[in-house]
Amino acid sequence: MLIFENDYYLAWSLYAVAALGCMLAWFRMTRWMWRWLREPLRLLMAVLLLTPTIVEPTQGIYAPAVAITALDLLFHVGDNAWRAVSDLALYGLIALAAYLLLVLLRWPIERSFRQRAGRQQAGQQQTSADTRPQARAEQRPSVRERLEPRL
């Protein structure tokens, strides 16, 4: 049993490294996209790659849900496909709810940052307009200066 347990942990660690590599590749492939499309696609890929499902309930053996679903559907080797699909759906809904909560928290914060940046930019433009030397004809005379009519 010790050898099987070590093989089990070795297989999971190899899968984790491969899944992280796939996630990095997916991040590179989706970096050009619009943010509101890119983030849900990355979330979907994370759920697909990182969701485990139980294979042997008596021994507590888990496997990646995508692999179990693919093997069961392609080779008809077991009856765990529905369990794996339900696990994928459940974890997907949990991840989507967490993402929507994050978006609802992030949205007003980003809006206030944009408004603050807009006010600062308008203030900088105003100060640069005030410090810019103006032509003599455009300047208004002060109260102390005498205004002479031109002939």
Q: Note the pLDDT tens digit of each residue in 78-115.
A: 788 899 999 999 999 999 999 999 999 999 999 998 88
128-145 pLDDT per residue, tens: 766 655 555 556 656 566
Based on its alpha-carbon atoms, the radius of gyration of the chain, rounded to whole angstroms, reads 31
For residue 80, what are the contacts with CB-CB under 8 A and spacing of at least 6? 53, 55, 68, 72
d(CA 103, CA 41): 15
Q: What's the gap between Cα 47 and its chain centre?
A: 13
Q: Could you tell me which residue, 61 or 148, shows the higher pLDDT?
A: 61
* The overall pTM is greater than 0.75: no
